[in-house]
Amino acid sequence: MDLRTLSYLVVGATFALYIAIAFWTRATSTKDFYVAGGGVHPIANGMATAADWMSAASFISMAGMIAFMGYGGSVFLMGWTGGYVILAMLLAPYLRKYGKFTVPEFIGDRFYSKTARGVAVICLIICSVTYVIGQMKGVGVAFSRFLEVEYTTGLLVGMCIVFFYAVMGGMKGITYTQIAQYCVLIMAYTIPAIFISLQLTGNPLPQLGLGSTLTGSDVYLLDRLDQVVTDLGFREYTTDTRLSGLNMFAFTASLMIGTAGLPHVIIRFFTVPRVRDARSSAGWALVFIAILYTTAPAVAVMARLNLIETIEPSPGEYLVYEERPQWFKNWEKTGLLAFEDKNNDGLMLYNANPAENELVKVDNDIMVLANPEIARLPNWVIALIAAGGLAAALSTAAGLLLAIASAISHDLLKGMLMPDISEKRELLASRCAMAVAILGAGYLGLNPPGFAAGTVALAFGLAASSLFPALMMGIFSDRVTKEGAIYGMLAGIGVTLAYVFQHKGIMFIADTAFLGSLPPNWFLGIEPNAFGVVGAMVNFTVALTVSRFTAAPPPEVQDLVANIRVPTGEPAHHALSKRR
């Protein structure tokens, strides 16, 4: 069966599964819509959290970035997984003890201010919208390549699927759909990796294949890649840092605390029955995430080696462009891969010299998706990759859109503008807000703003600089005041946005020649995508300083903080209600 037919069958089957789950898990109350009724099993919630977390960036882009950045790409592995340790230890159990629905709701209660709640809503929407743009792009790319439809058509189909199960089921429908999506995406990621690891090293486990010798040789896989890239003039793969050690530290820290501060991840821990289940969920999520994240370095190395050896089968002998393989022709049509015959010799010259390099565009996003084709794997494996990429993008998009919709309907409408609204009308408002959020995300996917189209790391920096410090201080300090929290959030996200907009080099760049032309006036050499940790430091400093010069929080708020910090017993908001 040809690839296009197989892709339609596999993707169609997964979409049918998501729709069936949506019918089965329709939300009938606001509690169902916001927190899936609060009764999700920790293992199931861990799997749903993993799918919610592993976006198109994790599935499609991360291995591609590591493929070109080498050792410098470890910031994503360490940052995106290390954040879960912070989340499990310092945030999840305490926020579950609090016992309500959303992050802005906690900030509004803890800092006894509707203004603080409103600022948190604004920060949440900025972070989530920035992140969701990348998911929409991932949907469009997967559709346009594997199903051979227009990018716009693919994006509209993806929007319809998310609309159906997210609007109908809310968090309840999204949770159980994400469990199915996790199963799809993890099979789609690991099965091709197993095939390619067997081809190159004879080892079926990619994690072990990464450290193995090549089949029929005593040369290690990583040594072979180091040799190949240095022969082409690139820096050594296994030791190439991302600009500097300080920049890598800042990037890793920004991704870690940004992970812990992302609202669509945090709200998943409101869906479990007990406080201890929140910690358990975080642990299970880390296990499920680790399956993909430990596979990604092997996928990256094998994809980079396969790409180079396709272009240069042997040292100094390059592929004739007219005889390029079919996979190359397929990806040229998407615009994500481009060749320019600069010396008119018909050969596909590929090296680190921009003046000579004729493979003028290799988008990071094609490495995972094209790798099975480059390795000549069976069509059903390639079709599975398409389904996995769509599952990753749709699962995260749904979680982000729910966070946005909840902020609008629960925090802005019920919490601030119409406090007496009935549950039935709030549920209707939630569904309407979700529909509007999906339409907005679709528009941004079709017309992405230049500052966010190429990266999701910016979203992590914004969450790190705004929401994470407010949550940490809200839980662990009873002296931080509403004025401190408000000014801290505004200062943190303001400084980060100003730094990003001031410098244009916010995209992930694999081309080392381009790195040398980036703006020389970065703060301590820290790139904009890594600046979130500096913004967080500004947030903490402003909040703590302002709090020293303003009146202490009222006694009932201090009691709330004390109650939250003992993550057992009744929900914290019940204790606060009794005190009042």
Instruction: Decide: 10 and 248 in contact? Cβ < 8 Å.
Output: no
Q: Which residue has the higher pLDDT, 579 or 49?
A: 49
**Domains located in the chain, CATH noted:** 3-304+377-579 (1.20.1730.10)
- Of 53-62, 291-300, 499-508, least confident by mean pLDDT is 499-508
**Residue-wise pLDDT tens digits, 36-78:** 777 889 999 999 999 888 877 788 788 888 998 889 888 988 8
Sequence-distant contacts of 355-361: CB under 8 A, at least 24 apart: 359/311, 361/336, 361/337
What does DSSP assign to residue 521?
T
| pTM of the shown model | 0.84
Q: Which residue has the higher pLDDT, 514 or 179?
A: 179
The per-type count for the chain, helices as H runs and strands as E runs, is: 26, 2
Percent of the chain beyond pLDDT 90? 30
Q: Which residue has the tokens 């022969």?
A: 231
DSSP assignments along 134-186, one per residue: HHHHHHHHHHHHHS---HHHHHHHHHHHHHHHHHHHHHHHHHHHHHHHHHHHH
- pLDDT on residue 179: 92
- Cα–Cα nearest to 115, from 470, 496, 522: 470
- pLDDT on residue 449: 59
Q: Which residue has the higher pLDDT, 141 or 47?
A: 47
Answer whether residue 17 shows pLDDT above 80. yes
The H or E element containing residue 533 is helix 532-548
**Residue-wise pLDDT tens digits, 433-476:** 888 888 888 887 777 655 443 456 678 888 999 999 999 999 99
Positive/negative CA dihedral, 340, 342, 345, 349:
negative
**Residue-wise pLDDT tens digits, 232-272:** 888 899 988 888 889 999 999 999 999 888 888 888 888 88
Residue 175, both tokens: 């949770």
Residue 542, both tokens: 């402003």
Q: Which residue has the higher pLDDT, 291 or 506?
A: 291
- pLDDT on residue 568: 54
Tell me the CA distances in angstroms from 151 to 141, 143, 329, 445, one per residue in order.
Answer: 7, 7, 18, 10
Positive/negative CA dihedral, 246, 247, 248, 252:
positive
Within 10 A of 446 (CB to CB), how many other CB atoms are there? 15
Backbone angles phi, psi at 431, to 5 degrees: -70, -40
Residue 115, both tokens: 């203004």
Write the burial class of residue 198 (CB in 10 Å: 0-12 exposed, 13-18 middle, 19+ buried).
middle
CA–CA distance, 214 with 198 (Å, rounded to integer): 10
- pLDDT on residue 506: 43
